[in-house]
Amino acid sequence: MRVTVAAAAVVALLAVAGCRDDAVEPEAEPTPSLASEPSATATTDPAALGFDAQVLDGLAKQAETSGSTCLLVARHGEVAGEWYWGDGSPTVPREVFSVTKSVTSTLVGIAQADGDLSVDDSAADYIPEWRGTDSEAVTVRNLLSNDSGRFWSTASDYGALLQAKDRTAYAVGLEQTDPPGTVWAYNNAAIQTLDEVIENATGQQTYEFAQERLFEPLGMTSTRMTLDASRQSTQAFFGLQSTCPDLERFGRLFLQEGEWDGEQIVPKAWVEDATGRSSQRLNAAYGLLWWVNRDGPLRDPVDAENPGLPPGVDKVGQLVPGAPEDMYAALGFGGQVVLVDPGSGTVVVRLGPGGADTGYGIEQAAKVVTEALEE
């Protein structure tokens, strides 16, 4: 199996709404509106930032053809190109699907830096319903690595979870089916339980913690997490509303090893832990709710037959062959991409409407680095 097939599956199945015909469109209740005026970011001549302007324009045209609503390319914090199509806007937020997961991961990193939790803690320390059960063996790190062994099925993750009024309660109530660390599955329900972990560890609702400790310090004024229909649970596996400029700031935070305007928003060690290596042995392409480009065994996001790596299956390589090994990305259904390349100091953000056949994904975003970057 070619690695590019796995990469295509990553784009097609990463998040929830609309990825199955029987999935219910989520009715997310927005959290209170944030400030509406983002800080402007000046655009620099692409050549001055080391890009071939003609190649970059060609890649932007390809993004437009794939139904993108925006594309933003920045290097060292300066914008080399910013494009908007259709109803795309630098200030009007839109659903970015599973890019949310990487934000949730970052909130866990901030909570750990505060001393509120450790990723090596049993998740049951913060999820009382799991105490005295097989799930007591699951650590917070297992939830971030997608090797928790919590119940997973396509019907649950892409149907019942979306239909649940309280998605955190639904996810917490599922069974433990495998020992943690023995199977890998792109498990939306398991990730949603991090909402309870963060809330009980910090004493704040997850969306409030996100706004206070992440969005406001970075000036992500058009970004918010959302609540489910119960208005009790923050959606941790999808539901983030954001824009290309705001997500460039999020990517730049990681590019700058967690530092922003002289303040360490998230520890440098967390950036390395979340994005600098594979988080487990089953899927080399996965960090802590970030996709990484490390070489090794690969897993598709959804494998209905066996969410673990079956013996004898030869899927070995990189998510994006030929791209830098230390490149990483937050990815969402329909080709939502926040790509970070530490070696060149480049951030690429692409957003568009949710859809499984957009033809855009991490491989296309990576061409900014592999084809347009000259120096």
Amino acid symbol at 244: C
Q: What is the pLDDT of residue 44?
A: 85
Place of tokens 């970057």: 373
Q: How far apart are CA 25 and CA 98, in angstroms?
A: 15
109: enclosing H helix or E strand: helix 99-113
Q: How far apart are CA 271 and CA 300, in angstroms?
A: 24
Q: How far apart are CA 121 and CA 128, in angstroms?
A: 13
Give the residue ranges of the chain where pLDDT is below 50. 1-40, 304-314
Q: What is the pLDDT of residue 142?
A: 98
Q: What is the pLDDT of residue 41?
A: 56
Q: How far apart are CA 160 and CA 148, in angstroms?
A: 19
The whole model's pTM is what?
Answer: 0.90
**Do the beta carbons of residue 360 and residue 66 sit within 8 Å?**
yes
What residues are paired with 73 via a beta bridge?
A: 81, 348
Q: What is the pLDDT of residue 303?
A: 53
**Do the beta carbons of residue 98 and residue 333 sit within 8 Å?**
yes
Taking only the tens place, the pLDDT of each residue in 277-335 is 999 998 999 999 999 999 998 887 655 444 444 443 447 899 999 999 999 999 999 99
Q: Where are the domains of the chain?
A: 3-31+39-372
Taking only the tens place, the pLDDT of each residue in 4-33 is 333 333 333 333 333 333 333 344 444 444
Q: What is the pLDDT of residue 356?
A: 64
**Do the beta carbons of residue 226 and residue 30 sit within 8 Å?**
yes
Nearest of 95, 105, 146, 143 to residue 301 by alpha carbon: 146
Q: What is the pLDDT of residue 43?
A: 76
Residue 83: burial class (beta carbons within 10 Å; 0-12, 13-18, 19+): buried
**Do the beta carbons of residue 329 and residue 363 sit within 8 Å?**
no
Q: How far apart are CA 145 and CA 289, in angstroms?
A: 6
Its sign, for the CA torsion 68, 330, 35, 262, is negative
Per-residue exposure over 114-134, b if at least 16 CB sit within 10 Å of its own CB, e if not: eebbebeebbbbbbeebeeee
Q: What is the pLDDT of residue 375?
A: 79
Which CATH topology does 3-31+39-372 take? Beta-lactamase (3.40.710)
